[in-house]
Amino acid sequence: MSLAKRLHAVVHPAHDTGFDRRRSVSYDRMSRWALRGLYRRVAEDVAAVAPESATILDVGTGPGRLLHELADRRPDVTLTGVDPSPHMIQVAERTATSRSLGHRVRFQIADVANLPHPDGSVDVLVSTLSLHHWPDLPAAATQLARVLRPGGHLMIYDFRLAPLGAALVALRSQDVFAATEVTRTPVRAGWYPVTPFARVSASSAQA
């Protein structure tokens, strides 16, 4: 089995259920060490493009560990994480409070296909290892394009085996991305000797 497949199996011991309480707690225990290198790498990428006082939204935030890394790097930004699993949100809120970050990050129960954010309200949309759970990529792309501010950035990271090609097609069909490049690039992060991750990124058209 390739390293990418093995890493995916560690992150997802089972693929059939949502993140209930037990899986949410065990995912948090695993991810805080196994995925810290990825969170750091992504936080650096996001911190580099986010404008002053940016609004940053992490879609499928899980335990919210990426937002901790961002809070450390960018004290000026507003950080929100959404996830459809109430158990993940509970874990995320608890770990943020335990790290005294409760005042910096906000969590909401929400699905990528139905984001509770106004149109054009987010400067940077980010997501890690969540896209391969999204059942309806066109619906996800429609919502991501809707909430992204003109000139905003979209950065979606997932395993290279995730349906990133379908995500590219769905995003390219959105008007706000029609005049810009939507790209897929391999991502090296942390201690992994190979490159199991990739990023889909785009910037929305300026107003």
> Which has the closest alpha carbon to 55: 144, 157, 152, 176?
152
- Tell me the C-alpha distance between 69 and 73, whole Å: 6
- Tell me the C-alpha distance between 181 and 36, whole Å: 29
Q: Which of residues 18-47 bind ligand SAM (CB under 6 A)?
A: 19, 31, 35
Among the listed ranges 49-57, 68-76, 128-136, 193-201, the one in contact with ligand SAM (CB under 6 A) is 128-136
Q: Which of 133, 146, 160, 172 binds ligand SAM (CB under 6 A)?
A: 133
**φ, ψ for residue 32, nearest 5 deg:** -65, -25
Q: Please, what is the minimum distance in Å from the beta carbon of residue 101 to ligand SAM?
A: 16
Q: Which of residues 140-169 bind ligand SAM (CB under 6 A)?
A: none
Q: Please, what is the minimum distance in Å from the beta carbon of residue 206 to ligand SAM?
A: 27
Binding to ligand SAM by residue 83, rule CB under 6 A? yes
Tokens 């608890």 -> residue: 94
Closest-approach residue to ligand SAM (CB): 62
- Tell me the C-alpha distance between 48 and 188, whole Å: 17
Q: Which of residues 42-71 bind ligand SAM (CB under 6 A)?
A: 59-62, 65
Residues contacting 105, CB < 8 A, separation 6+:
64, 67, 68, 71, 79, 80, 81, 92, 96
> Which has the closest alpha carbon to 125: 100, 143, 107?
143
Binding to ligand SAM by residue 201, rule CB under 6 A? no
Residue 62 vs 152, nearer CB to ligand SAM:
62
Footprint on this chain of ligand SAM (rule: CB under 6 A): 11, 19, 31, 35, 59-62, 65, 83-85, 88, 111-112, 128-130, 133-134
